[in-house]
Amino acid sequence: MINDGTVPLLNDFYQLTGNPILLPKFGLYEGHLNAYNRDFWKEDEKGILFEDGKRYKESQKDNGGTKESLNGEKGNYQFSARAVIDRYKAHDMPLGWILPNDGYGAGYGQTETLDGNINNLKEFGNYARKNGVEIGLWTQSDLHPKDSISALLQRDIVKEVRDAGVRVLKTDVAWVGPGYSFGLNGALLTWVIRCLIMVTMHGHLLSH
């Protein structure tokens, strides 16, 4: 590409590649990624200090401790994803987005059905947005339901975006090489679903 000056040259470049991506406002703030639906926390003098003044050690296997969750609804608030949001707020640290399932085998709910787990994610999303934080998911598994796997690891990208309010998608490291197009298709599908929701909402407003 040859042109006179920086601006014309950049315009030529963007004509070839498309315009630069403009991140949503929440994407300019810090994000928090971890798994909050899998691990167990047991008292240990060499562990991490929590708000109750005790130290706990984390384990991905059941060590007889307290199992974490997204919403802290099982007497496990300090090990929940909600507690993480509250800690950022308590220390006056702006948080833009959070991925609560960023770990192998985590999922985002502990019910016996996919719909029950999506409702759990929705409750967490409502709490997060009330505190100015958007939610996202790590795409460990397929994006659509499969009866052959447990409810814990089932996914439904349509309901996650439409019902639970997911706004961030982290594609999996396994989606490279032969699966690279799978990752791109997953990101594209999320964008399409988001656009359809916006069109539907806009039509609803116009009808009123």
For helices 114-130 and 81-90, what crossing angle results, to 10°? 10
Render pLDDT for 59-95 as a digit per residue (tens, 0 to 9): 999 999 999 999 999 899 999 999 999 999 999 999 9
Q: Identify how many contiguous H helices and E strands the chain contains and give both numbers.
A: 5, 7
Residue entry with tokens 């702006």 = 94
Confidence of residue 159 (pLDDT cuts 50, 70, 90): very high
User: Coil, strand or helix: which one is 175?
Assistant: coil
Give the pLDDT confidence score for residue 18 in this predicted structure.
Answer: 81
Which of 7-16, 66-75, 159-168 shows the lowest per-residue confidence on average (mean pLDDT)? 7-16
Give the pLDDT confidence score for residue 29 in this predicted structure.
Answer: 96
CA–CA separation, 26 and 177 (whole Å): 31
**Tokens representing 122?**
């929705």
Mean pLDDT, the chain, as a whole number? 88
Confidence of residue 192 (pLDDT cuts 50, 70, 90): confident
Which residue(s) pair with 126 in the sheet? none
64 versus 191: which is more confidently predicted?
64
CA–CA separation, 146 and 143 (whole Å): 9
- Nearest residue to 117 via CA among 74, 159, 75: 159
Which pairs from 185-189 meet CB under 8 Å and 24+ separation?
Answer: 186/139, 186/143, 186/157, 189/143, 189/157
Element spanning 84, H or E? helix 81-90
Are 175 and 188 in contact, with CB atoms under 8 Å apart? no
**Tokens representing 60?**
């991905």
Strands 31-33 and 97-99: parallel
